[in-house]
Structure 1
Amino acid sequence: MSRHRELLLNAFQMAAPGHTWAGLWRHPRDASAAYNSLDYWVSLARTAERGLFDGVFLADVIGQYDVYGGSAETALARAAQAPNLDPFLLVPAMAQATHHLGFGVTANLTYEHPFTFTRRVSTLDQLTGGRVGWNIVTGYLESGARGMGLAEARAHDVRYEAGEDFLEAAYKLWEGSWEAGAVLRDAESGVFSDPARVHRVRHEGPYYRVDGRHLSEPSPQRSPVLYQAGTSSRGRLFAARHAEAIFLNGHSKAVAARAVRSIREAARAAGRDPRDIRMFLGATVIVAPTRAEALDLRDEYARYLDAQGQYALVSGWTGIDLAGLRPDEPLAYQATNAMQSLVENLTAPGERPFTLADFAEFGPRGARAPFIVGSPSEVADALIDWAEAADIDGFNLTRVVAPETLEAFVDLVVPELQARGAFKTAYREGTLREKLFPGAGPHLKASHPGAAYRVPGRSAAS
């Protein structure tokens, strides 16, 4: 039996009928239209835990995709990530139905305040026994900014400057407000918490201000596992400083490897061990007992792909209106206020230019990430090959037809990976952070910038 790196796996989901593949909710075996029921999410979580997945990664977006044709009509009609629910409210039900599964929850810091947001995350971390991660996003949709009463979204780089300020305030609250041992629960004396060990946080930043004590007692992880998805020039610096796990895409091994390399180099320059950041690559996987059956499934699924919905998604992600693009016209680089890293990848010099037809393809070009179709052994080969070629730690597996594609992966691919020593055969004990970083302990590593805000005298293990 050959040995490979032990891969990490997340089920990439969104609390919406449509996610990254528009139109698949129409498939007769797809259950995504029931996204607003607890049974849907509990069933998904149980399947993911049966497959020993590390987590469910919940995407989110504030606003509607209204760049395509200058209107949100297409996104709304085609369920292009609309409507959607608050992902935070799904986690308790999934956590109650599982014991080890982690939850990476997306939250847009631009429309949050550190004082209340840190309590919400601490609450989830306590209720789940330390299984929560926060996917840090800064928001890019103008429709979201307008919905929040703002004239326009913050400029791309300014969003990250505000993110630095937000995280400093959050670290102070999570790490520096309550000392270890501040909660006594002493029924005899009548003292629940020792006031002398609960410290007032004062933060006067350029974007956020805080003056108060953290509202929650310390949760198992204190700070949640910190996910981030920014791979633009400014996003890489932010991720290299703060992220413990990064979600990225790449339509070729060279593109993905280049992104990973740049982030690891930036982490080293920031004084962190580059291996303290887990890299998750998005991937679409269609598997069946034989290659022929998998190809038939791919063709079947492709008939339900909604091209107009795909155009609405890509237009929103890039900030470029695809409505004016001819089918064979290459997408040209434009400086936008949306996902700069995606625009850069789609228009990278030396890469075959992306066209409108590519974005409507149910395949590698449309996925903008690994698109793997085959038998269990072929899929396992491909995942291992991508991981080794791009130096990634695991995959965020995109929803295609729910729950069919996730169940097939669990039943067919997981045993194949386990047989090769490329996937765990049992969960480790501990928090999400301890599972992702064996031996690291439940809290932020001492080398992480958030650790600098710990209460003086409190050890990393306390």
Structure 2
Amino acid sequence: MSPNIPTTGPAQREILFNAFDMNCVVHQSPGLWRHPEDRAREYNTISYWTDLAQTLERGLFDGLFIADVLGPYDVFGDSPEAALRSGAQIPVQDPFLLVAAMAAVTEHLGFGLTAGTAYEHPYPFSRRLGTLDHLTGGRVGWNVVTGYLPSAAQNMGQEDQLEHDARYDHADEYLDVVYKLLEGSWEDDAVVADKESGVFTDPAKVHRIDHHGEHFKTPGIGVVEPSPQRTPVIYQAGASTRGRAFAGKHAEAVFINPPTKELAAESVRRIRQATADAGRDPYSVRIFAMQTVVTGPSDEAAQAKYDDLAQYVDPEGSLVLMSGWMGIDLSQFELDEPIGDVESNAIQSTVETFKKASGREDEVWTVRQLAEWVGVGGFGPVIVGDGPSAAAQLAEWQDETDVDGFNLAYHITPGTFEDIVDYVVPELQKLGRYKTEYTSGTLRHKLFGAGDHLPAEHHGAQFQLRRR
């Protein structure tokens, strides 16, 4: 029988921060790229990313979490046209190519990179992970996704994605191959670099992995020498029963995006239970909830900023993203149609959730209002207030939901993050809820304080060569 997890987490603890971004113009807030202070159009320049990384490190952020999709959002109108018009996560570029430049101008900031298991063989992918772990000094995490956009599967020559649970079965084996290559091929001291003998690597200390599975056959050795973490920190975001089981087995950090505290608390409880079911400490997983913070020097200034942002929201772009997230074509409804007239259980339940999150439960919402609500910050909740107010609300979220920290989405960039660094971080520090300096070491050690490598209870640890 599975152990029951505590109903409350450890005593009051420091809040962790990731910045939530994507290598595109529109991530979570369609239309706000038009704001005069927004620099999202510079997403395809090195300076945008290096400037952002330095801002985040100034604010002692734990990481920059970079989302990704491989394929356009084309559920809305059964076409990518609206996504292209609004810039909703297209054009989108490879997130991996950003990291080396950002690592070069920072010392501590971590990087959580999204990459799917469906379309690239784990053999070359493991090399990319190992390479970045070397170049960053061990500051890399991998957000494992199995894919959810049919357009990606079709453009990779498939009719559609694998069935939901089958995608996770495939991903389980994918990770085993990665673990074997990064953990179980090269011994710690395989590289001797002996100039006198002329031997760089001792061949006796490099081993074939001999993987022969249902999906992959990888018989040979890995090609990357051991990096600081060997396997980067494993992130995951699946919310289904199968996704939580996958997280319990593999994840060291989990991203959730419920718009209310009640839903967040339930998600956290289920993830911690899945981790316990996998034989791990339920608090060996760091859980990050999505939040958008609109802040300023006063509550009035923060509210004025929110009102200013709202006028730039692109309702069509918001519905493009919602259609992709929900799998429902929202183009079939008129923008000013009351939600009550829309016959869809999925939409009705989503709107009820947003009503509760906004405190406007008695209103009759239209499709347009749903789009406008999503337009500032996406599917997650939005906090509006000055630094002390925002800090208190974040602390309250942690206390009531048991999350470890937040993936902070932007409304405008980098202004959102600059405001958080300037107004919110100092107030959290005054509350004793945020670090005042970085811990040295790798991303894994910063997050858990227990060393650089996968812990013994983690599934991937079984593939480790005995450490010396």
* TM-score range for the pair, normalised by the shorter chain length: over 0.9
CA 1:344–1:261: 2 relative to 1, 3 Å: farther
1:192 CA displacement: 0.5
Q: Quote the Cα distance in structure 2 between the aligned partners of 1:297 and 1:164.
A: 45
- Decide which of 184, 195, 202 is 2:192's aligned counterpart: 184
Is 1:436 paired with 2:447? yes
| 1:52 match: secondary structure | coil
CA 1:32–1:218: 2 relative to 1, 3 Å: same
Is 1:144 paired with 2:152? yes
1:161-200 equivalences in 2 (<5 Å): 161-200=169-208
Tell whether the 8 Å contact from 2:186 to 2:206 is kept in structure 1 after alignment: yes
1:293-372 equivalences in 2 (<5 Å): 293-326=301-334, 327-329=337-339, 332-333=344-345, 356-362=367-373, 367-372=378-383
| 1:427 match: secondary structure | coil
Counterpart for residue 409 of structure 2: 398
| 2:219 match: secondary structure | strand
AA of the residue aligned to 2:85: A
1:62-141 equivalences in 2 (<5 Å): 62-141=70-149
Tell whether the 8 Å contact from 1:333 to 1:347 is kept in structure 2 after alignment: no
Q: Quote the Cα distance in structure 2 between the aligned partners of 1:179 and 1:245.
A: 27
Counterpart for residue 250 of structure 1: 258
C-alpha offsets along residues 208-244 of structure 1, whole Å, 9 cap, x if unaligned?
2212111100110001000000011111111111000
- Decide which of 452, 458, 462 is 2:462's aligned counterpart: 452
TM-score when normalising by structure 1 = 0.93
1:9 CA displacement: 0.2
Is 1:262 paired with 2:270? yes
Counterpart for residue 432 of structure 2: 421
Tell whether the 8 Å contact from 2:28 to 2:376 is kept in structure 1 after alignment: no
| 1:111 match: secondary structure | coil
Name structure 2 gaps, 5 residues minimum.
1-10
1:344 CA displacement: 8.0
Q: Quote the Cα distance in structure 2 between the aligned partners of 1:316 and 1:354.
A: 21
Tell whether the 8 Å contact from 1:135 to 1:227 is kept in structure 2 after alignment: yes
1:345 CA displacement: 6.4
Name structure 1 gaps, 5 residues minimum.
335-341
Larger mean CA deviation between 362-371 and 200-209 belongs to: 362-371
Between Structure 1 and Structure 2, how many residues are aligned?
A: 448
1:355 CA displacement: 6.2
Tell whether the 8 Å contact from 1:11 to 1:397 is kept in structure 2 after alignment: yes
1:265-284 equivalences in 2 (<5 Å): 265-284=273-292
Q: Quote the Cα distance in structure 2 between the aligned partners of 1:271 and 1:396.
A: 27
Q: Quote the Cα distance in structure 1 between the aligned partners of 2:321 and 2:121.
A: 28
Q: Quote the Cα distance in structure 2 between the aligned partners of 1:4 and 1:267.
A: 21
TM-score when normalising by structure 2 = 0.92
Counterpart for residue 289 of structure 1: 297
1:354 CA displacement: 8.3
Tell whether the 8 Å contact from 2:72 to 2:83 is kept in structure 1 after alignment: yes
C-alpha offsets along residues 100-157 of structure 1, whole Å, 9 cap, x if unaligned?
0000000011111111000000000000000000000011111101111111111111
| 2:308 match: secondary structure | helix
CA 1:291–1:22: 2 relative to 1, 3 Å: same
Q: Pairwise CA RMSD of aligned residues? A: 2.1
Tell whether the 8 Å contact from 1:5 to 1:422 is kept in structure 2 after alignment: yes
Give % identity: 50
Counterpart for residue 8 of structure 1: 16
Is 1:42 paired with 2:53? no
1:4 CA displacement: 3.8
Q: Quote the Cα distance in structure 2 between the aligned partners of 1:365 and 1:117.
A: 34
AA of the residue aligned to 1:266: A
Tell whether the 8 Å contact from 1:363 to 1:371 is kept in structure 2 after alignment: no
AA of the residue aligned to 1:420: L
CA 1:346–1:91: 2 relative to 1, 3 Å: farther
